[in-house]
Each structure stands twice: as structure tokens, then as C-alpha cells.
Structure 1
Amino acid sequence: MNPQKNGAQVTEQEASVYRTILDSVPMGIFAVDTAWRITFFNREAEKITGFTETGALGCRCYEIFRTDLCHTGCYLRQALETGKNIVKARNRILTKSNREVPVSITAAVLLDKTGNVLGGVESFLDDTARVALEKRIEESYVLGDIVGKDEKMARLFDILPVLAESGASILILGETGTGKDIFARTIHNMSPHKAGPFIKVNCAALPDNLLESELFGYKKGAFTDAKQDKPGRFQLAEGGTIFLDEIGDLSQNLQAKLLQVLDEKEFYPLGSRHAVKVDVRVVASTNKNLPKMVRDGTFREDLYFRLKVIEVELPPLRERSSDIPLLIDHFVAELGASLGKEICGVSLDAMKILLNYHYPGNVRELKHIVEHAVILCQGDNIPKGALPGSLFVPETNSVLSSMFSPDSPSAWTDPLLAKERAAILEALTTCGWNRKLTAKALRINRTTLWRKMKKHGLASSTEG
């Protein structure tokens, strides 16, 4: 690259000064001509790539950097074709030793004094540290298939490995759609039983007589259609975990038989006089109020206490609203990949609607909403129009109902308090749940904001 000054060739001394300056910059810089041959390669570029300037000059840039985008989405090519600079784009290059390095790049067109294109110039920074930090942060929000950064979720993340390791029976409580089955599977995957099977049984899906044979199996001739022995789910779960979903729907008869398995580690298949010994970890879940059922006499007290050796309660999504953007990003990436779509994220209009919805179906409903939007999305960003129409119905997405929380004393009781809550929520959403910025926007101090957030049930994990 030959620097020019006022249209004339610069002196060797001036060129040396320019070179010294560019070699002192703590970022890689290279330039190409219109044939994509490298005409300049500074010292930091040598350091990051492992190629010397002598080895790089004259080579085509894609021969040196070898990124996945070189032939399909080159940022430098985009800059040359559009005439617009590309700023802080992300990519990955291969070094001379074939080590992959994440980089942050800026690309621009090189023009002469009359506006003719001479080629392009690109600067790039080694982004390894930032990518590693982002990965650590992301991993701290993910445990198995569970995603969350709310303080309630963080507490669960802290204790879950200990609970899984214990081998004790676990009772998972939570509303429909909060992810009880995912928690059960994560407990299994982190437990000493992880090499064994994970068997799920929905206790509400079958009538009592069929559920009994499903759980405990039967011997040939136990009933008319019993043509051969059939092992039950407990036998199939030997050495692993059995997950009894919707345990609150179990009949009193089956409750007694389940208690026997928990106490004695054995059971009798239908039509058998011989007990079958089992080594099985039992995890159960329900969305029902088991203590009330015990008081009403519809659920055995001894079974309840046997199941709840360890009790875990999953918060509804409305109580962990700061997790909604994180979950949206997770589902967009997951569902986009499964559908073969490259979707970067969600538009601001769509995100505002998603943040203001109350999610009676919790995380499961959010996932279905995102799946609907991903299917309809035709670009790289999900627009407002790709969201389900039900989100725009006033009755289901009004200011009052959108963030209804039964734990909030102001909800549905005082219209003025409800308006205050809605105003605070809107400011929090606009400011990305940053308390410092929100307090400034509302013209109140941070202590007052925090007190009002607690009063209105909005004091989940927030920044600043």
C-alpha cells in the first residue's frame, strides 16, 4: 500500500512514519486491492494470524484468514459492494497453525482522491477474551436444559447439584408449564443414577386400573388380555430414575402401593405372589396443593412426607420476568437451528409485547409463542407481525393483566396502584431492567424505586 499526500507519492521517511504508526496500533490491519490480493499487513495482524507480512503480501485474503464467510458473506466484500463501512462485525479466522480465533472486525473501502476504488481495508481484534467471558456468563445462566438468571433460579442452580447427588426422593412443585419435567431430567443427569434409564409416567393420563399395570407390570394370566409377562415402569427404571408427573392425581389405592415401593424398595406385579426388588430414584411433581389435599383426606400424609424428603418449588414466569429476554434468545436460537433459519433476534416492537405479556402457561407457553414467530419470520429479525394474534387481544394483554401477580398486593385491588405498577414496569422494560437508569427516567431515587418494586412484586433479579 503506497500512501499518497495531496495526490503525490509520499517520501520514504513519511511512509516509514505511517508504517510505524500502523504497526503500533493494537489491532490487526490489512488492505487488499480489487483482486483481493493483500497489499498491507501490520505487525498485530502477524501476531494474531501467525503469518508474516512477507508470507501474506500478494496472497488473496481468503487464503490467509480462511473463515466460513470468505466465499459466502465476506464483510470486506459487503463494504466494497455497498460503499458502506461494516463496524464491529464478528467472525472466526484460522491461524497459520489452524487454531480458530474469534475476531471483531471493521471493514471499509479504500478510495483515491477522485473517488476511484483502490481496494479495501479491514481492522480486526482478537475477541477470545470477550467470547470466553460471554460463554462463562451464558453457562452461569444455564444448567442442563434449564435457563435462568433470576435470583430464585440462581438459588436453584446452587442447590440442584447437591440435591441430585443425594439420591433422596424429590418432590417438584410448580404451575403448569414451569418446567418440572426438565428439572426432573436435569436431576437425573446430574445424579449417580445418570447411567441408568429415565422413565417418565404421567399419573393423570391413565385410568386407575391401567396405571397400576403400567407402574408395576403384570404376570401372564393376571387378566383376560395378559398373554405374557409385562414389566412395569418401576422395573424398566431399575438403576435409574422414575419421574412420576402429576402425582396429585394418583388414587388412594395406588398411593398405598407407591408408599410400599418407597419404604421397602419392592412391589408386587399384578397376578404375582413374589415381590420384585428395585433400585430406583423417585422424583415426583405436581401443580396441585398437596398439603390441602392431605388436610382434605384425598392424599396420604405418610406418602406426602415420604415424597418430600426434598421439596423444590419452581417459580412461575411472572415471578422471574427478568428471565424472559434470556429465554426468548435461547428459544430463538434453538428453534431457528431446528428449522434451518438464521434468526439473529427479536425486533424492539416484538420484544416489548413479549415482555408485557403475563404468560399463564409459563415457560411452555413462551416457547410455543416463539416457535410460532420463528416459523412465520421471513428475515433475520422476528417482527411484531410474526407473533400470535392472541397477544394483541386487550383482555389477555392489557396493562393490568399483562403483569398480574397474585403475590403483588397492588394487583387488581386499587386502580391507582395498578397504574403506578404499570408505569414502573414500562420504565424497567424500556431501560432493560437497569434500576439506575429506571430511577433516573422516573425521576426518583434508587431506594424509592426498589421499595416500590418490592411493593408491586417486581423485585426480581435486575441490573444496577
Structure 2
Amino acid sequence: MLKEKISELKILIVEDNALERKTISAFLKMSGYFNFEEASNKREALEKIYLYKPDVVLMDISLDEAQAGLEVAELIHNDENIDTALIYITAHSRQEVFDRAKITNPYGYIIKPFTRESLAISVEMAFNRKMLEFRLKESAQIFKTSVETMLDCFGIYSAVRDANGAIVDFTIEYVNASACAGNKMSREEQVGKKLCEILPSHRINGLFEEYCRVVDEKKPLIKNDFVVTDEKKPYAQRIFDIRAVNLKDGFAAAWRDVGERKKAEEALIRSEEKYRDIVENLSEGFWFVDNNLKTIFVNKKMNEILGYGVDELCGRRIADHIYEEQLEIFHKNVESLKAGVKNQFSLLLNHKKGHQVYVKATLSEFTDNFGRVKGIFAFFNHNTSVVNIAEEMESRDEYSEFISSRKLLVGNSKFVNDLYTILPSIAESDCNVLIEGPSGAGKSLIGRTIHQASERKDAPFVVVNCGALPDALIESELFGYVKGAFTDAKKDKPGKFSIASGGTILLDEIGELPLHLQVKTLHVIEDKMFEPLGSNVSQKVDVRIIAATNKNLLQLIEQKKFREDLYYRLKIVNIKVPALKDRKEDILLLAKHFIKKLNQKYGKNINCISDTLIKFLLSYNFPGNVRELYNIFEHAFVFSNSSIIDIEQLSEDYLEIYKKNVTPNRDGMVTNLPGKGFAGELPDRTINGIGPLIDKARDNKEYSELLKALELFNNNRNKTADYLKISRMALWRRMKKYGLLEML
């Protein structure tokens, strides 16, 4: 391998005169060359050439014998394994000596006597020439390999001319492997032969004349769908795409048989005609795009969903009609599709009139007969109830607030959609709101959504949990205090009502508020005034009150624990939030929303949920509601090391619930128990049908090792898991498998 830097060259000095060898060595050192060897005769020269493998050889022609240097040069010139640049050093001036030296293709001559500069220049020029040859050889090899391995047929041809200079045929100089396969002839059967002699169809089909124009007029040839007919088999037509360019008195051509592609295209046209009516009458929107996501076809339903006329969408990019903030979701699903994963996902599309349309989207690849992807089919299932909401609100001023608030609450249940229908009216009214529902159902989030959609959205939103504060502190937290109100009151402190002034205060768990503070809260509602603790001076406050509770306030009124007048002053608008078990449609949308949030929190890229987990989520009753669902996924994220969340990543309690509701069948597979719904509470620690499996496992090696490890570390699971080199969760499953959880 030739050195990249000239100073690193390996140089061999072949000179029989010791004094001249020393002179050459000194000149080389002065010129910055230090990596060199010396030889004084023919034998030494050959040994060091083969062992030292020099980049440059400075060769004395005569050596110890007449013209012995030439003999060494002729030997290495004829040896393909020797790659060196030869420079002759000689005092000879006879023409016959130079003629013999030329045959060895030297890189230069240095006539004795010479100077240091002439020696250095000769070595540098030899290096530059050698480097150029090396690069050209490398490029030629790359080109040859590329051409030889390309799928298209390729050939090089030289013109055969008559006495008048007219082209009568072409000699085949080179054909690649694909051309050999296409012509059904070996390279030996073609190279050196006349093109039209072995392929007479070139004259019949006019291709020979096309090639003549390429050579004589020096214009490239581009032919698509060129039909070639074999005179022996006129019924067997072949179709080619052909490209040809001029070379020196010849041409290079590349061609591809596109007959099968044409058949596939014709089949596609027939198929399109056959199925167009079916697609046009689908109840779903159908959108067909190419690999650049440009529209090829949309059906009538798709035009109807987006409000466009026939052919208005053709040629447009599908991405231009997707709500900007959801483009990332769409492109991620396109990438998942390329990886072989199909998903159904929610999407917002832009209607022609400017509002957004909610759809369920599914993508599928369209491939030709050869399995090559030619585009994407997109199916859009239109949710009419959501669209009606958007259309009704289209001309209203609060529509932009509606769209932004849609980001806060996630769901597609009747409750969520009905809530969004009335949300703008609630937001603009500035009245008090009472939100009732079980813990963890999202009451606080609904309160925040109302605030965000109201004119108070730029002012504070303050949340107070009335059940989290002791009676002694809740008054000072809500209404504040003045300096000296009690022993530790060193200075004035504003309460939550003061902080929320101009905005919204959410009184969470309002049913826990003591009766004497209910009176004070009623005074705030009626008079927009209150007195801080320790003060007789009333303060004005402009605040909207939203209250939330998980208790039955009417029962508390009957028990004299809640004021009836406060109840009705709060309940101007009453929102009853159903438990998550009563709005199953929201579960998977919430799951996707939580996955997105947790991916950002934990820096992971989880994008799938297993079918087993989906069935579990849709069957479970969620006593902890939305908060419990979030906790389930956060636990799964901690233990997941792949892009899919499966049932195995759930905590032990949920795995027990799952195991409680499945049973092994005869083949040892696990199936759902018919009629078994989840009760939403933790079961006892028994699993149906697992006993026989435990008995069968008693004698195996895994069970023995597990039992010994537990005994060794006195049932300490952390130490046992470390000893067995498994995770704590894997240890739990193994103990569960052999019934050791109940025993230990």
C-alpha cells in the first residue's frame, strides 16, 4: 500500500559504488527521507525488493555486471506482486540502453552526476505519479465492481466502420453479469463478437440506428417502454427502458426489462377499475398516497369528511390536511408501518372551512407484484358526534379556546364529548361550578379546563384541597391572616382567595370544609368580600369558585354537616364525572396520552401495548379511576426495556388479578375464564388450576436452585435475586410459578 505522506516513503538504493550510495543517502536525508535501505548488487537488490517492499527503487543500470540493474528491473516489471516506482540512476547515454530501459516503464531517469535537488524532484514526481495511478486504479475497480453487480444490464461497444467511415456494426467490448443473464449468453459468447450478428433483433427493431446516432451525433439516448420483437418468436415481445451515452467511437448502454412491471401496471389498472366502485361507496374515508405522501386517489366519503369537491385533493400532500400539532403522530405511524407495525390512532384533520375533524386512522402499505412498496392506503373512520360539536362552534368566538382546551382532557366517551359541547358556555358565564365524582376521575383537570377556556385564563388558577389541611390551619390558608393574629403571625400573609383574585379558585373536597368556614365561603360568594384571620377589615375579591367533591353532599346536608344554602350557591352548574369503568371508550386514549407523557419523563420510546394488556385494561374496573390508570403505566415504564408494554410489566397486585381471572387449558395454554369480569379489588393469593403445575415442578433444577437460594439468604428477596442474577420481578414470578409466595 502506497504511503499517503511522501516523507513516509520506503526507498531502496541499488548502487554498487559505496561512495555514491553514501552520497545518495545523504541527499535523501537532507530532503527529508529517512526510511530507506541499500543494496550493492543484483542478488541483494532482489532480496530487499521482495522482503522490504519499497515504494521507490533508485536503480543503477550497471551494478556489478553490465546492465545488471536492467535485468532486476525487467524481473520486477513482469511480477504482478511487485508494486514499486522505478527510477534509473545511470551514466549511460547510449540509445540502445535507454530503449531497453523504456520497456520496464520507469518513473524517471537521473543522469550522473546529479544534485540533491534533482534527486529530490525525481523522487517526488515518482511519488505523485504513483499516487495518481493508485487512485485511478482504485476508482476503476470501484466502477467495475459497481457495474458488474448492478441489477440493470450494462455493456460497452465500439463502432465498426466501412471504408467510407459509415458504422456497419458494433463490437461488444464488455457486458456485465445482468446482461449475460438477460441475453442468455455467457460473457465469452459475446465479448469480441458483432452486436447485430448475435442479436439481429437490434436491426429489426431500429435500435441499431438509435445507437449509430448516439455515436455520430454524440447525443444521449433515452427510451422508455421500448418494444423488442424476436423475429423467431413474434408473439414474445419484451419491453425495455434503455439509456445510452457516447464514448470515443463507441457507446455505453444500460437497459432494464420492464415487461413484468408493465403487466403489473396493467393489472393494477384493471384492479382499480374493478374495485373503484367498492372503494367509492365505503362508509370510511379512503385516501391513497404515493411514497412521497402525495394524493393519488380519495373516495367520496373522504371528500365529504373534509368538505372538498371531487378531485380537489388529488395531487396534494396528505400532510397539508393534518392538524399541525398532530403531524408527528402521523409520521411516527408511517415509520411504524414501514417497520411492519400497524396501529389504529386518533387524528385531527383540517376541514376546508378551517375547523378540525376528529377521525380514527389506520394505515396499510400498497405493494406491487414484486413486493415493492408503491404507496400507502389510509382509512379514516369519522366520529360524527365530535364533528357536529366542531361545526356548531365554528362561527363562535370561543372556538379557539375550545381547541386549546381539548388538549387538557383526553377521551372520546359520551361524557367527554358532551362536556366539550357545553364547555364554552360554562367558561364564558363566570358562574360557580360544582363537580361531583369519585376520587381520581379527573375533577381537578375539568376545573382547570374550564379556567383555561375562560376569560380568566391569564390570571391565577389556585387549587385548595380542603381535606388535606387540619381545621386549625384551613381558615388561615383560605383567607390569610394579619400580623399578630396568633403567636407566630410575624407578618401579614395573603390567603388562597387573595392569591386567586382575578382568576379561579378550585375548592377540592369541599365536603370536608368545616361548617364555620362554609359560612365564610358563602359570604365570599354573595358579597365578594372576606375578612382575614385577626382582622375586622373586609377585603374585596374578584374570584370564580369551582368546587369539587367525591361525597354525596345531599346526604351531608341531611346529616347537618354541609350547608344547604352553600350547596345551591355552588351548584349553579353541576358536572357529574362518571367513574372510569363507566367510560371504557376513554381508557385506550388515556393510555396513549400517558405513554406520550411518560416517554418524555423517562426518556424512553415505548409506542405499543400488547393485546393481553389491552384486554386486561378494558376488563378491569379501576376503583382508583384515571389516577390508578396513570400509576399502572408509570410502574410499567420503570420495568419496561422494550418498545412494548406487556402484562408482565404490571405490579404484583395487578398480575395476581390477571392470574386470578385466567385458567390453564388442557394444552397448558392460558385462556380467559368465561363470564369472569374483574371486580376491581385485590383477590386472595390463590390461582385457579395452578396446583398441578407446582407439583410437576418440584423435582426440576430451577425449583431446587430457587429453594436453596431462598434458604441461603433467609428468604431475603433482594439478595436472592442478586445471587440468581435475575431481577426482583423475575424472582417474584418464579416464586409464583412454584407456589412459594404462599409458603414463605
Normalising by the smaller structure, the TM-score range is 0.5 to 0.7
**Aligned residue among 433, 438, 462 for 1:175:** 438
Alignment of 1:105-120 (within 5 A): none
Uncovered stretches (5+) of structure 2, i.e. residues with no partner: 1-150, 154-177, 184-223, 228-238, 242-258, 270-287, 297-314, 318-330, 345-362, 391-402, 662-674, 682-744
Q: Distance in 1 between matches of 2:624 and 2:501?
A: 33
Instruction: Find the residue that maps to 2:240 and give its secondary structure.
Output: helix
Structure 1 residues 336 and 293: alpha-carbon distance in aligned structure 2, compared to 1, 3 A threshold: same
Letter in 1 for 2:466: C
Q: Distance in 2 between matches of 1:109 and 1:395?
A: 44
* 1:55 match: none
* 1:15 match: 240
* Offset from partner CA, 1:190-210 (integer Å, 9 cap, x none): 111111100011111111221
* 1:166 match: 429
Matched, 1:206 2:380: no
* 2:413 match: 150
Cα offset, 1:143, TM superposition? 2.4
Question: Are the counterparts in 2 of residues 332 and 343 from structure 1 also a CA contact under 8 Å?
Answer: yes
Question: Are the counterparts in 1 of residues 408 and 445 from structure 2 also a CA contact under 8 Å?
Answer: yes
Instruction: Find the residue that maps to 2:501 and give its secondary structure.
Output: coil
**Aligned residue among 452, 456, 461 for 1:189:** 452
Q: Distance in 1 between matches of 2:413 and 2:380?
A: 23
Letter in 2 for 1:12: F
Cα offset, 1:106, TM superposition? 6.5
Letter in 2 for 1:402: F
Matched, 1:258 2:544: no
**Aligned residue among 379, 382, 388 for 2:645:** 382
Structure 1 residues 29 and 226: alpha-carbon distance in aligned structure 2, compared to 1, 3 A threshold: closer
Cα offset, 1:319, TM superposition? 0.9
**Aligned residue among 362, 374, 392 for 1:123:** 374
Question: Are the counterparts in 2 of residues 357 and 391 from structure 1 also a CA contact under 8 Å?
Answer: no
Q: Distance in 1 between matches of 2:658 and 2:642?
A: 30
Letter in 2 for 1:123: K
Cα offset, 1:29, TM superposition? 6.3
Cα offset, 1:258, TM superposition? 0.4
Question: Are the counterparts in 2 of residues 204 and 249 from structure 1 also a CA contact under 8 Å?
Answer: yes
* Offset from partner CA, 1:117-169 (integer Å, 9 cap, x none): xxx95533497x969999x98x9898242112121222122112211211000
Question: Are the counterparts in 2 of residues 356 and 403 from structure 1 also a CA contact under 8 Å?
Answer: no
Matched, 1:249 2:499: no
Structure 1 residues 353 and 172: alpha-carbon distance in aligned structure 2, compared to 1, 3 A threshold: same
Structure 1 residues 378 and 2: alpha-carbon distance in aligned structure 2, compared to 1, 3 A threshold: same
Uncovered stretches (5+) of structure 1, i.e. residues with no partner: 31-41, 50-67, 79-85, 91-102, 111-119, 406-464
* 1:345 match: 608
* 2:636 match: 373
* 1:446 match: none
Question: Are the counterparts in 2 of residues 266 and 276 from structure 1 also a CA contact under 8 Å?
Answer: yes
Instruction: Find the residue that maps to 1:175 and give its secondary structure.
Output: coil
**Aligned residue among 474, 485, 491 for 1:222:** 485
Q: Distance in 2 between matches of 1:174 and 1:397?
A: 29
Structure 1 residues 193 and 397: alpha-carbon distance in aligned structure 2, compared to 1, 3 A threshold: farther
Structure 1 residues 29 and 344: alpha-carbon distance in aligned structure 2, compared to 1, 3 A threshold: closer
* 1:438 match: none
* Offset from partner CA, 1:249-268 (integer Å, 9 cap, x none): 01011000000000000000
TM-score (norm 1): 0.63
CA RMSD for the aligned pairs?
Answer: 4.3
* Offset from partner CA, 1:29-87 (integer Å, 9 cap, x none): 69xxxxxxxxxxx998xx779xxxxxxxxxxxxxxxxxx99xxx9998x8xxxxxxx58
Question: Are the counterparts in 1 of residues 423 and 450 from structure 2 also a CA contact under 8 Å?
Answer: yes
TM-score (norm 2): 0.41
Matched, 1:334 2:334: no
Letter in 1 for 2:447: A
Deviates more, 1:218-227 or 1:11-20: 11-20
Matched, 1:393 2:656: yes
* 2:115 match: none
Alignment of 1:419-438 (within 5 A): none
Letter in 1 for 2:482: K
* 1:114 match: none
Structure 1 residues 203 and 29: alpha-carbon distance in aligned structure 2, compared to 1, 3 A threshold: closer
* 2:666 match: none
Q: Distance in 1 between matches of 2:519 and 2:644?
A: 54
Letter in 1 for 2:478: L
Q: Distance in 2 between matches of 1:186 and 1:169?
A: 14
Instruction: Find the residue that maps to 1:12 and give its secondary structure.
Output: strand
Structure 1 residues 328 and 299: alpha-carbon distance in aligned structure 2, compared to 1, 3 A threshold: same
* Offset from partner CA, 1:315-351 (integer Å, 9 cap, x none): 0011112222222222122212321111112111122
**Rg: which structure is higher?**
2
* 1:402 match: 678
Structure 1 residues 87 and 12: alpha-carbon distance in aligned structure 2, compared to 1, 3 A threshold: farther
Q: Distance in 2 between matches of 1:275 and 1:332?
A: 48
Cα offset, 1:177, TM superposition? 0.7
Structure 1 residues 29 and 173: alpha-carbon distance in aligned structure 2, compared to 1, 3 A threshold: closer
Letter in 2 for 1:8: G
Q: Distance in 2 between matches of 1:322 and 1:154?
A: 11
Q: Distance in 2 between matches of 1:293 and 1:268?
A: 27
* Offset from partner CA, 1:400-430 (integer Å, 9 cap, x none): 561579xxxxxxxxxxxxxxxxxxxxxxxxx
* 1:273 match: 536
Q: Distance in 2 between matches of 1:180 and 1:310?
A: 14
Letter in 2 for 1:277: K
Deviates more, 1:158-167 or 1:13-22: 13-22
Cα offset, 1:295, TM superposition? 1.3
Cα offset, 1:28, TM superposition? 3.8
Instruction: Find the residue that maps to 2:574 and give its secondary structure.
Output: strand
Question: Are the counterparts in 2 of residues 164 and 187 from structure 1 also a CA contact under 8 Å?
Answer: yes
Cα offset, 1:388, TM superposition? 1.5
* Offset from partner CA, 1:217-266 (integer Å, 9 cap, x none): 11111111111111111010010000100000010110000000000000
* 1:362 match: 625
Q: Distance in 2 between matches of 1:6 and 1:354?
A: 61
Instruction: Find the residue that maps to 2:623 and give its secondary structure.
Output: coil
Deviates more, 1:267-276 or 1:391-400: 391-400
Instruction: Find the residue that maps to 1:146 and give its secondary structure.
Output: coil
Letter in 2 for 1:202: N
Aligned length: 343
Question: Are the counterparts in 1 of residues 264 and 368 from structure 2 also a CA contact under 8 Å?
Answer: no
Structure 1 residues 364 and 206: alpha-carbon distance in aligned structure 2, compared to 1, 3 A threshold: same
Q: Distance in 2 between matches of 1:224 and 1:283?
A: 33
Letter in 1 for 2:240: A
Structure 1 residues 349 and 335: alpha-carbon distance in aligned structure 2, compared to 1, 3 A threshold: same
Deviates more, 1:225-234 or 1:15-24: 15-24
Question: Are the counterparts in 2 of residues 241 and 282 from structure 1 also a CA contact under 8 Å?
Answer: yes
